[in-house]
Amino acid sequence: MKIICHGGAGHTPKVQDGVDKAAEKGWSVLKETDNALEAAITAVIIMEDDFRFNAGTGSCLREDGSVQNDSSVATSDGRMGAIANLRNFKNPVLIAKELLDEFPVMLAGKGAIEFALKKGYKQTKVKGSEKGWTGDTVGAVVQSSKGDIVVASSTGGVRGRPVGRVGDTPLWGSGFYCDEKIGIVATGVGEAITEQLLCYRVAQHSENLEEAMEWGVRLLPKDTGVGVIGINNNGQICGSSNTSMPFSIIER
């Protein structure tokens, strides 16, 4: 059993306690249920509800002062769900999770909002935060004792970007990737991560996760903040970043 959580590329080490708490809560769900999906969702919700992170309640503001959320979830049994430009839902990761068993697997804007309402989620004002720069998205990767892997990620995007802008977080292969061998999520400047199809390429690069991640981070310019975390079925669990990226690992 393993869990790794991050609090965003570029975020201060001062929020390490928030990332540790997310990993601990996710771990306790994993220990109790051996359900990697529930553990990953629990961990992400803890950080979405922590105003210090750029996700859920603390999401950064767009150019027009609004909050728009992107989120994604994927599982090693071949399912994925993602939402983009969601507005005013407390925990966007729960809506992405709902899409795991739907077809379409990805919804944006008005369609995502209607889907969430239909599923019984209530729209509530998400205040957002004027702080937060390019980094601080949150993410989790979890592996159960049976070997299932799940990835989950959630973000308010990047401060000051235009309304309707979609970063890497909800884009399959860019901000998240999962198959039966590996699960990876990314954080950092979404445009650069998307251009590199970062998570998919890291997953294909090498059996050695640490080496693959270091290679992946180097695909982006040094001054473009980026980070990745992941787990593979060789028993490796790690994170790599070219900037500060609080992350937390628990394994047994």
The residues carrying an active-site annotation are 137
Is residue 156 marked as binding? no
Decide if residue 58 touches ligand ASP (CB under 6 A): no
Q: What are phi and psi of 134, to 5 degrees?
A: -85, -30
73 is in an annotated binding site: no
Contact segment (CB under 6 A) with ligand ASP among 101-109, 121-129, 183-191, 198-206 equals 183-191
* 71 sits near ligand ASP (criterion: CB under 6 A): no
Tell me: is residue 167 an annotated ligand-binding position: yes
Q: How many CB atoms lie within 10 A of CB 79?
A: 17
Both tokens assigned to 64: 């027009």
Q: Is residue 135 involved in binding ligand ASP (CB under 6 A)? A: yes
Sequence-separated (6 or more) residues with CB below 8 Å from residue 251? 1, 2, 3, 237
* 92 near ligand ASP (CB under 6 A): no
Total residue count of the chain as it appears in this document: 252
Whole-Å CA distances, 191 to 29, 99, 139, 186: 34, 24, 18, 12
Enter the DSSP assignment of 58. Answer: G
Residue 158 interacting with ligand ASP (CB under 6 A): yes
CB of 169 to ligand ASP, least distance (A): 5
Residue 167 in contact with ligand ASP, rule: CB under 6 A: yes
Q: By C-beta, is 54 or 75 nearer to ligand ASP?
A: 54
Please give the single-letter amino acid code of residue 89: F
Shorter beta-carbon distance to ligand ASP: residue 30 or 135: 135
Determine if residue 165 is labeled as part of a ligand binding site. Answer: yes
Give 161's DSSP letter: P
How many Cα atoms within 13 Å fall on the side-chain side of residue 227?
27
Task: Quote the least distance from Cβ 148 to ligand ASP, whole Å.
Answer: 25
Sheet containing 149-155: give its strands across: 106-108, 80-86, 69-75, 149-155, 138-143, 2-6, 247-251
Of residues 6 through 25, those in contact with ligand ASP by CB under 6 A are: 8-9
Does the annotation place 166 within a ligand binding site?
A: yes
Number of residues forming the site for ligand ASP (CB under 6 A): 17
Annotated binding-site residue numbers for substrate:
165-168, 187-190
Q: Which residues bind ligand ASP (CB under 6 A)?
A: 8-9, 54, 134-137, 155, 157-158, 167-169, 187-190
